[in-house]
Amino acid sequence: MQPRTQRQKEILDYITRFIERHGYEPSYAQIARHFGISSKATIAKHIEALEKRGLIARRHANGSFGLSVQVEEISGDQICEVPLLGRVAAGHPLETMADTTESVSVPRFLLGRVRPEQVYALRVTGDSMIDEHICDGDIALIENRTEARDGEIVVALIDNARATLKRLHRFGREVELRPANSQLAPLRLPAHRVTVQGIFRGLLRPAN
């Protein structure tokens, strides 16, 4: 069963990613702050709606309130194939990645809740994301999605010609593509010049 509204889907996705990253559930206050909502009661209504649809379950422990997301069981040794579509710059933007029929084998658990058919791979060039442990020669796993939240690592297409891997932040009519390397400066551009091509979801490091 799917969430009834887009906001419910966004909240469910946020809770799932938060648990995967931190190992525990976000509070109502954290969820509200993430979405810029002032009332925790509004979040409670969305949570209740998700609970009624069987997408989350309430869990009480020592008198506290938590969330347990119902996720698909994924075998730890399950492997899937995703297409390798070329290169992306973790440095200066490269020309748009070329089409290819090459694919890479990926442990299914690395993709979390994202279906394999929604994912493609890019080989990283450069070291601008090295503080995120994304290194030259790594293979980035990218969810094929055109909408990103502030702070997400994205494949950004600049002027419909050059692709780069950076954290995206919005500032009014501008966006900032921010590296994870203290030696490099962010790139600030008018929003209309930047198109999100995908969201970073994981990493493969080829054996030397």
3-state secondary structure the chain: CCCCCHHHHHHHHHHHHHHHHHCCCCCHHHHHHHHCCCCHHHHHHHHHHHHHCCCEEEEEECCEEEEEECCCCCCCCCEEEEEEEEEEECCCCEECCCCCCCEEEEEHHHHCCCCHHHEEEEEEECCCCHHHCCCCCCEEEEECCCCCCCCCEEEEEECCCEEEEEEEEEECCEEEEECCCCCCCCEEEEHHHEEEEEEEEEEECCCC
From 9, 39, 64, 128, the catalytic residue:
128
Q: Active site includes 128?
A: yes
Q: Active site includes 52?
A: no
From 38, 39, 75, 166, the catalytic residue:
166
Active site residues: 128, 166
